[in-house]
Amino acid sequence: MSKFPAWFNRAYKRWNRSQPGEEDFLAFCDLLGYSPSKVLAWLHGESVPEGPEVLSIAGVFGIDVYTVLSLPKPDPELLKIFDLFSHLHGEDRSRVALAILDAERHLQEYDISTSSSAAKEILKNVFKKYGLDK
């Protein structure tokens, strides 16, 4: 059985207690960029996040989510890029997560270093593909 639901519930409760005033569940879902039904399924252990969903959770609660889910951690440089967009919520946040993972796939496929000029061009093109170039 996955350890994720218990970990995610604790993380959600810590987040909720740290918010000024009375934050609600919908604000939490918006912060992650996913629907309440999807987030509830994670909290209740009915499903586990995948791909960009994990990256979005890592952006809020830290990289430990990859260990909890027994997944390989993404490139640290790409995590830094995602952190630059941590102020985004909702669909924008989930689009950034998708773009970052798409860029990571390209970089791995062609064995390109994240610090190279080719990586910057790939990131630029992928962000444009996801409508994040504005």
| 37 plus 59 within the same structural domain | yes
Same domain, 39 and 82: no
pLDDT band, very low/low/confident/very high, at 22 (cuts 50, 70, 90): low
Output the six-digit token pair for 79.
């995590």
Same domain? 54 vs 99: no
Confidence of residue 1 (pLDDT cuts 50, 70, 90): low
Instruction: State which residues form the domain around 124.
Output: 76-129
Q: What is the pLDDT of residues 48-82, one digit of tens each?
A: 999 999 999 999 999 999 999 999 998 989 889 99
Question: Do residues 72 and 96 lie in contact, with contact meaning Cβ atoms separated by under 8 Å?
Answer: no
Query: pLDDT band at residue 24, thresholds of 50, 70 and 90?
Result: confident
Residues 42 and 96 in one domain: no
- Which CATH number does the domain housing residue 43 bear? 1.10.260.40
Residue 134 lies in a domain: no
Angle (CA) 69-81-41 rounded to 5° is 35
